[in-house]
A and B are shown apart, each in its own frame.
Chain A
Amino acid sequence: MGLRRILIANRGEIALRVIRACRELGLETVQVHSSADADSLPVRMADSSIEIGAPQAAESYLKGGAIIEAAKRMGADAVHPGYGFLSENAAFSDACAAAGIAFIGPKGSVIEMMGDKAVARGLAKQAGVPVTPGSEGPVKNVDEAATVAREIGFPLLIKASAGGGGRGMRVVHEEAKLRESLESASREAEAAFGDGGVYIEKYMSAVRHVEVQIFGDGKKTLHFGERDCSTQRRHQKLVEESPSPALTAELRNKMTTAACALGDRVGYEGAGTVEFIVDAATQEFYFIEMNTRIQVEHPVTEMMTGIDLVKRQILHAGGEAPELRQDEITFRGHALECRINAEDPNKGFFPKPGRIETFTMPAGPGVRVDTHVYPGYMLPPYYDSLLAKVITHGADRSEAIARMRRALGEMKVDGVPTTIGFHQRLLDDPAFLEGRVHTRFIREEMYAGHPMQNML
């Protein structure tokens, strides 16, 4: 039942990435786009394109109904959602299926389970995956919260059950502030997600963010190693690498096993990522959440394993994924990704849209660039600031880093500020070189005392 024509319900570099995978597989592509993206590279590269609405995502890339209509009209038999937008929208996954179109990702029920943080946490526990100490599920009232707080101690973190992106999240340092924080987090969660449920967990400082790439066929889950994404600002990743410089072989083994156990527990299908925080000092790890889609940083894993994850997603959706055993997935060398964003690192990584006047990409041995930018491209203000992902691979970490330094030196972007200079600086920072960064490193160390530190 192989697929024939794939509709890409996304934009930017990931849309181009999917088009490339389709082309290699001999599949036709339909690119949906907003009116602002009519001149974009994915629209030009796809076999056909169709405009679905106004620039704002809510009026185009988030309109599931319009996308399904477009798929029907263009004769597409599958939809690839990319990342962001509708990629983790359970209703959209189910609506595609109901319309007889394959959604390239898990079915709605799985997305829904993993999208609810408290449910996902419960499932992780059942699968024997360590979770941060905290409440069993949403806390009912302040008395229950206080009981949990006394068990796990302060500081603690209040998180919205339906949440994401920091909404409905509070760090509480003392019991006196518990009621107030609980109520405001709940109110914020109610407003943002229509669900005021909040739960409590231990607040960890100076931890690393390490995630495991998995791929399931509904029966058995395979892992593709980890990615260390500890270099972040505003909870968003800037650099990802594999293997993680902070893991021992033993810890890596425990984490990949845990990730597969969670995948198996829900009968996971397709590509997914299980995110953990790691306390490098104690070598303890805790489940944070699972993303039921392809990730921005998937090329790091592709460079390490030589396996094309996007093609595998598409083949799996068409029932044609080649058999793969865990021992056939091998890891070679070291891979590193730097996200080149249109942001000014000296102004709090403030994003800036505009015309890209010069755009020279790096090339050469061990370098991969995923980008939708071309010279003269008008970077629109409506979407994210990602310009390009530069990925380097080397025999070991130092070669991957040396290649990244070399690649960033070759790269030239004019017209908007970029994070290139930030990355060059990071790659010379002893903390990064020695593998000592943690998720708040940029804010609390690298930009300590910077006037716009509080934006990071």
Chain B
Amino acid sequence: MSGRSNLTHEDVLRILQIVDKSEDVEISVEYGGLKLHVSKGAAAGRGAASTPLEHALPKQVARPLLTSNEASDDDLPSATSTPLAQPTSETASSGDAIPAGALAIIAPLLGRFYRSSSPTEPPLVEVGSKISEDDTVGVVEVMKLFNEIKSGLSGTVIEIRAANEEMVEEGQVLFVVRPD
């Protein structure tokens, strides 16, 4: 092995043997002049933004994606119970400010926003609609997969900020809701 590293050939072999015996691992070791990167199983090819350990995910489609990758991977249990709604102060980057006392329902992912569940159905909600936590308020489609957006809060819709069939960014405000 390289003289600049204290890791011996045997050490590396041992690491690889451990990897070989486990499922779904990804390790990166940087030690002196040595860089070792191994991934296997479900941990392989997960993309740079992900951390190797996978946590249990909830059943809902939209929920796991409601926060950024970093947040959802690091602390999924709390992320899963976080409503889609964001307090006013945290949505400053998403365009116009949210009126005091109101909450926003944000796009859980980048994609095309639909206000109804099928082209022949009326919009799921309108301004003035009363919504409760489990209501589906819209659909976001990405790469041919349709994801229902759950309200995550109860209240009255006071503003709809995205047009039907508009492309929306992850985190973009879709609905402004006055909570009950």
Contact = CB atoms under 8 A, between A and B. Distances in A.
Interface residues of A, number: 38
Contacts of A342: 143
Contacts of A432: none
B2 to A, nearest CB: 22
Interface in A271-304: none
13 contacts: A344-B50, A345-B42, A347-B57, A353-B143, A354-B47, A381-B110, A381-B167, A418-B47, A420-B45, A421-B46, A425-B41, A451-B56, A454-B59
A122 interface: no
Contacts of A353: 110, 142-143
Nearest to B61: A455
Given A353-B142, A414-B45, 7 more contacts: A348-B57, A350-B145, A352-B143, A382-B112, A417-B46, A422-B42, A455-B61
B58 interface: yes
Contact of B43 (A382, A383, A411, A421): A421
Contact of B47 (A56, A352, A385, A425): A352
A253 B138 CA distance: 50
Interface in A240-266: none
Contacts of B58: 451
A40 interface: no
A418 B45 contact: yes
Interface string A435-456: 0000000000000000110110
A191 B119 CA distance: 8
Interface of A: 56, 191-192, 342, 344-348, 350-354, 357, 381-385, 411-422, 424-425, 451-452, 454-455
Nearest to A412: B45
> For this complex, into which size category does the number of interface residues on chain B fall?
20 to 34
B36 interface: no
Contacts of B65: 347, 350
A85 to B, nearest CB: 12
Nearest to B119: A191
B141 to A, nearest CB: 9
B48 to A, nearest CB: 5
B47 A415 contact: yes
A170 to B, nearest CB: 16
Contact of A421 (B41, B48, B56, B110): B41
B47 A381 contact: no
A421 B47 contact: no
A187 to B, nearest CB: 9
Interface in B1-30: 23-24
A384 B145 CA distance: 9
A342 B46 CA distance: 9
